[in-house]
């Protein structure tokens, strides 16, 4: 999609701090992190939302990316994986938030480990 910021990042038409890439997935740091580690795991093909996934391989490639990044960043002791949708989703290209380390929300359980 031409005017999609995440499609532009996939095509290297917009900058991003990329931490993982495969044939089908790209992952990069959120521009406005809500936690010490805040990575967005994104299918390279433009899929609007989690409700639009239909290809098991595409979804599994996101999981493979998450496993790889969790291991690389040694987040095994505490992480969250979150999909926002509908009114909670700002960017209209599906993405999985990987959060770790200290969160903005000081009462969050991740801050106690
Ligand atoms: P959503 O609310 O759609 O689930 O989250 C959108 C995420 O994308 C947020 O973490 C936001 O900071 C991030 N984001 C939005 N625009 C950009 C951008 O241009 N570059 C990067 N790296 N992250 C972005
Ligand atoms: Zn897109």
Closest-CA residue, ligand 1 atom 17, reads 31
pLDDT surpasses 70 at 24: yes
Query: In which band, very low, low, confident or very high, does the pLDDT at 103 lie, cut at 50, 70 and 90?
Result: confident
Residues designated as active site:
95
pLDDT surpasses 90 at 33: yes
pLDDT per residue as tens digits for the range 61-82: 999 999 999 999 999 999 999 9
Nearest to 97 by CA among 31, 10, 2, 44: 31
Identify the pLDDT of residue 107.
76
Nearest to 87 by CA among 45, 49, 41: 49
Any ligand 1 atom below 6 A from CB of 30 = yes
């Amino acid at each position: 999609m031409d005017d999609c910021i995440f499609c532009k990042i996939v095509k290297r038409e917009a900058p991003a701090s990329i931490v993982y890439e495969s044939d089908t997935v790209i992952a990069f740091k959120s521009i406005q992190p809500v936690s010490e580690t805040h990575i967005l795991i994104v299918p390279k093909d433009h899929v609007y939302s989690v409700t639009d996934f239909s290809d098991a391989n595409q979804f599994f490639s996101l999981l493979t990316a998450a496993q790889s990044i969790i291991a690389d960043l040694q987040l095994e002791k505490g992480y969250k994986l979150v999909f926002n949708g509908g009114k909670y989703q700002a960017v209209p290209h599906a993405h999985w938030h990987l959060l770790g380390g200290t969160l903005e929300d000081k009462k969050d359980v991740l801050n106690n480990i």
